[in-house]
Structure 1
Amino acid sequence: MKLSNLLLAVVVAIASFGITVAAQADTVNARCEVYPKGERATSSGSCTFSQRQGVVGIQLKNGRRYDLRPVGNQPGNYRDQNGRAVYRQSGLGDQGQIYRLANESIYVYWDTAPYGQNSGSGNSGSFAASSHPAAGTPVDRLSDLVGARAGQVENTVEQRGYQFIKPASASGDAIYTYWRETRTNYCVTILTEQGRYESFAYATPADCK
């Protein structure tokens, strides 16, 4: 009887160890930047990113956590823990992922070093990275157009030196598009909701490629 109990304990221990290892294997260290709509990053630093059976978990260093569950058949569509729509957006390539929430955006970078401080990039690369505004930084030259109808003032955006590059993502009434600031060659993302401009923010250089 004692032998059977011992064997059972060993089996349970092995199973628990396997579950723990599997859970750890799905979680990686990353760097996260959180941008409320139209504002600079309010949180930037180390975080953890996990994905299990399509469910994405993002844990910030300040204790805040996001649990995003996939919905529908369209890849990149989620609901957060409050039931609000979330969209995964391309633009960082193999450097990370972007998640657009109802009131903020989360940039997840696989490289845990601060932006523009990656090692082995050389002087010119470091200068280029640091000279481009951080993703999420508001575009001051367009801030007066927030709330305006896109169809009525799109010409104004172009006259101020912004060139349409490509659409980014769309779901329901929310549409993201990428533009290039011609005088600086910086990449800009514009959010339009219900036909009105909601925010103008700098994106990453890779977004406009």
Structure 2
Amino acid sequence: MAEVLVRAQGRCKLMSGGYEAFNGHCTFKHKKAGNTDAYVVKLDDGTDFNFSGPGVQALSVQTYAGVRNVKHKAQADHEVFSWNDGEARRLSVRLDQVQNPDVRFDDAPQKADAGSLLGAAVGALIGRLITGKPVTTTEPAREGAPVSDLQSLVGARGGQAEGTLTSKGYTYRGGTKLADSSFTYWEQPSTNNCVTIRTTDGRYQSITYTKRSDCN
């Protein structure tokens, strides 16, 4: 049975292929079962990451492109997870609140500081609030920017992943073909932003915002 060492709330920033795919609230959990460490990070947009392995310096993550090795780096005030699944990914995590992982009904959340986190697990994160301007989880429809809630589909087979798109509320608006790649256009729910998916050899290669007129 896995032991939860740290359960916390914080802020995360996901860089994907050089673009900022997400910057906002997230939850973090560090679990240990035997010799296996697992870090579970859940972004506010619904994207989940599960990094696990026989030690914090031997982590891997399951992607549509297969299992990829993860480079883990602990800083004084945040943790960084880096991997490459065809695109360079970098997930930075800072904590601002930690909860007692000992599950009892009288547990109360407490502010994270060096003492509480180090007491929860050796080498755990030192939490603090991110300084600077307020962060929003609403994505700008910047042409060419990755669509954060769909990045887990990169590397997936097109036919299999379309069900995920429709279940998330995306509406198909057409497509075109250029050289060895095809491009399909999808309207994002709520925002009505236009999203383009590039498919090569039957697999999604990129999922980015495009100009609104592509979905007309």
Using the size of structure 1 for normalisation, the TM-score is 0.39
More helix by share: 1
Which has the larger share of strand?
Answer: 2
Between structure 1 and structure 2, the one with the greater Rg is 1
